[in-house]
Structure 1
Amino acid sequence: MRADGRGAVRDLVAHLHRLGHRRLAIIGGPAATTTGQERVAAFREALAEYGLDLPDRYVGQGDFQADSGRRATERFLDLAEPPQVVFAADNLMALGALDAVRARGLRVPDDIALDNVAGGEQAAKALAEKLGGSGKIVILQGLAGTSAARERAEGFAKELAAYPGIEVVAQQPADFDRTKGLDVMSNLLQAHPDVRGVIAANDEMALGAARALGSEAGDSVQVVGFDGTPDGLKAVEQGTLYASVAQQPSQLGKIAVDNAVKAIEGEKVEETIKVPVKVVTKETVAGFSG
């Protein structure tokens, strides 16, 4: 998560603190993924700035599956002092958390989520246009069963349908993991040495693919990632990755705060609110603020 993402988390924590909430919990992602762990770290830092602790009992370990979100939230709710707010690092875990809360008869605000489908479309469009509308590409998929993996793959497929000259020669999961991205891409290059492009469902896999490509990354083979992580954006700046579809955490934080206020005041909010993402390239990375 970039520094401005931490700022958005701080804004949200500050607002909840002003409303009197002191017991905040989070459900993080698998230890092998940086995105989920970065969100836990940013959350912990934000709480510390406002004099709040994040005790171990308020940290749930998830696996980007609904059941893990449900189990973590059930454990939170069974505590002598359950949290007043639960953050989830993934949509599927959030759905599980919602199920657990609603099963106890508690009211929750409506859903705010990143628009992963639109982001997938933007990633595919960026690569297709960079390749001039033709060429062989591979897709590195995320962790099977997760909302992010499914929605981003849907977006890739929808947009690529508009480019008949783009041939997807392989689609394989690399589980949002950099090392797996390296291994999968290395194997794919053996079967498809003439590949010209790679779309990865997150920056970690894109960075692994770029490492497998070596000097070809950003030269004869273009790689597009997703999430706008610090490492991903650094690679975009250096030209190793062509682009990353970046989350805009400042918008996510602002929308979350605005709708939390509405919910608390009894106002109706939309059932699902999609937060837009943005394609960041070498030409725009310096001015990207999230």
Structure 2
Amino acid sequence: MNKAMFRLTMTAALAALPVAAATAEGWYPYPVQVWQPAFDMDSPRRDADYTPLEKASQAWDICVSFPHMKDAYWLGVDYGVTEEAKRLGVRMQVVEAGGYTELNKQISQIEDCVAAGADAVIIGAISLDGLNNVVEEVRSRDIPVIDVINGISSPALTAKSLVSFGEMGAKTGDYLAGLHPAGSDPVKVAWFPGPAGAGWVEAGNAGFAEAIQGSAIELVETKYGDTGKEVQAKLVEDTIAANPDLDYIVGTAVTAEAAVPILRAQGLTDQIKVAAYYFTPGVYQGIRRGQILGAPTDSTAVQGRIAVDQAVRALEGEDLLKHVGPALFVVTGENVEGFDPTSTLAPDGFKPVFQVE
């Protein structure tokens, strides 16, 4: 997608925020995009409204594997998958590997799920390519495998429920480029895309880099790291110390959340602005308070819900959209009051759920 198209989609996203409430009973129909052919993020897309099954025909056992649940982003996905499991009437086990350095643990957890009798597996992948062997092994047993959120490169997948993180990164980059177009005063930006090697990070990084080309933005630092808050806070602190004339901190939602109190403590809130390229409760709160400029939302909870429905459809031989993701929307201080967060965020007080019986 070229920069002109990014700018067009940015304008459309700013104008139209999702209004559907993702409650257990009535989250659908939900506006999505469908990739055709499937499994190629560069494929043409069509708009559609996604409507899941009313109920599963039996209480299938579904295993869900996450990279971690250390931040509110994955808590939102957990909310989505477990609530949809309850709505459809299926059993679910959720496992989490503990972080983006734990690829072998994620593989082992998936293998254990299958050995324990899982009928289908949903994977939020630690690595774009590193899970391909286990995906093929699971699929060889005729067990559906759904790729949710992060991206897996294996062609053996049953379906994908995810968005283009390239576009997520590009929407944030394009927003900043619009504030600082070519010919305006240059600004210095530090960019924190997330853990190196993760598919969503590589895509987001490429999208952001392309979107700021030709603008007045100077990218002075690119810092990769796990999305734990302590890791991101250390990266932010080191970057600020090395770049006293920095204008922006931009990156993961955890980066943005960590940056706000650091900037406040150092008296730099007015000098250094913050933006993210995906959405969490902390980012939502920061936008509402004027501490974070904005972020696109990928309707995290809905991605999880769709993945569960795809798994059940595959098990029951129902019609299946093989590659689908919620339409992207950008939330800023200008439109945040019109945004309904229930498609994206777990409710206040929600605790991680690891088992649905």
Task: Give me the TM-score of the superposition, normalised by structure 1.
Answer: 0.79
Instruction: Name the CA shift for 1:124/1:107 in 2 (closer, same or farther; >3 Å).
Output: same
Matches within 5 A, 1:65-76: 67-76=104-113
CA distance in 1, matches of 2:131, 2:26: 20
Q: Which residue of 2 aligns with 1:243?
A: 294
Instruction: Name the CA shift for 1:19/1:249 in 2 (closer, same or farther; >3 Å).
Output: farther
Percentage identity across paired residues of the two chains: 18
Aligned alpha-carbon RMSD (Å): 3.5
Instruction: Name the CA shift for 1:24/1:262 in 2 (closer, same or farther; >3 Å).
Output: closer
Match of 2:174 among 122, 125, 129: 125
Which 10-residue stretch deviates more, 224-233 or 19-28? 19-28
Residue 87 of structure 2 corresponds to residue 87 of structure 1:
no
Match of 1:153 among 186, 192, 205: 205
Which 10-residue stretch deviates more, 64-73 or 17-26? 64-73
More helix by share: 1
Residue 244 of structure 2 corresponds to residue 193 of structure 1:
yes
Q: Which residue of 1 aligns with 2:338?
A: 287
Cα drift, residue 177 of structure 1: 2.4
The question of whether the paired residues in 2 share the 8 Å contact of 1:112 and 1:274 is answered with: yes
Task: Give me the TM-score of the superposition, normalised by structure 2.
Answer: 0.66
The question of whether the paired residues in 1 share the 8 Å contact of 2:298 and 2:328 is answered with: yes
CA distance in 2, matches of 1:258, 1:61: 21
Match of 2:192 among 117, 140, 143: 140
CA distance in 1, matches of 2:327, 2:79: 24
Cα drift, residue 118 of structure 1: 0.7
Q: Which residue of 1 aligns with 2:160?
A: 111
CA distance in 1, matches of 2:203, 2:228: 18
Query: Which ranges in structure 1 are unaligned for 5 or more consecutive residues?
Result: none
CA distance in 2, matches of 1:173, 1:9: 38
**CA offset digits 1:78-135 (Å, max 9, x no partner):** 11xx222322234748955633322334455322322100111111111222345531
SS of the equivalent of 2:275 reads: strand
Report how many aligned residue pairs link the two structures: 279
Cα drift, residue 138 of structure 1: 0.5
Instruction: Name the CA shift for 1:243/1:286 in 2 (closer, same or farther; >3 Å).
Output: same
**CA offset digits 1:178-237 (Å, max 9, x no partner):** 22222211221122111111211x2111111222222543x3322111322111111011
Q: Which residue of 2 aligns with 1:211?
A: 261
Instruction: Name the CA shift for 1:28/1:8 in 2 (closer, same or farther; >3 Å).
Output: farther
Residue 135 of structure 2 corresponds to residue 98 of structure 1:
yes
Instruction: Name the CA shift for 1:9/1:256 in 2 (closer, same or farther; >3 Å).
Output: farther
Cα drift, residue 28 of structure 1: 2.3
